[in-house]
Amino acid sequence: MSPSQALRLAEEAGLDLVKISPNAVPPVCKIMDYGKFKFEQAKKEKENRKNQKVMEIKEVQLSMTIDVGDLNVKAKQTTKFLEAGNKVKVSIRLRGRQMAHASMGKDVMMRFFEMVKEVGVIEKPAAQEGRNIIMVLGPVKK
């Protein structure tokens, strides 16, 4: 039907002529209350946002010379983060001569992962980025 006919029908009904898909050939329009349509759309968007879970990235910093007790404390904290559904970025900052022994830092990372592997999986394996060694852990899918 022609746009003028559709507009006349909408005015007679006391409603609005709303383009549903303007890029289609011919454009698809609907006769409806535009205010109610916008309200329903906003309501759907709000519902979708409510159901969406925001995942945070928590960070745990280790050192190459970390002792077993300290490693256990960090592992316990990481376990809490992963059980809460967050991702965890584990990083080691290399200082001075440690740059020459980056493989030792990766060994510390793997030892750390062995402590938390029940609740986490490696999303990004340990890799050196400048002076840092970084690994990203994610929660285990249930």
Give pLDDT tens digits for 41-100.
999 999 888 877 777 899 999 998 889 999 999 999 999 999 988 999 999 999 888 888
pLDDT of res. 49: 85
Tokens 């256990």, residue located: 72
Domains annotated for the chain, with CATH where assigned, are: 3-50 (3.10.20.80), 57-139 (3.30.110.10)
pLDDT of res. 24: 85
Mean pLDDT for all residues in the chain: 89
Q: Are 86 and 58 in contact (CB under 8 A)?
A: yes
Closest by CA to 19, choosing from 7, 11, 5, is: 7
* Distance from chain centroid for Cα 68: 32
Quote the CA–CA distance of 40 and 31 in Å, as a whole number. 15
| Cβ atoms within 10 Å of 7's Cβ, excluding its own | 14
Quote the CA–CA distance of 40 and 44 in Å, as a whole number. 6
Given a cut of 90, whether residue 137 has pLDDT beyond it is yes
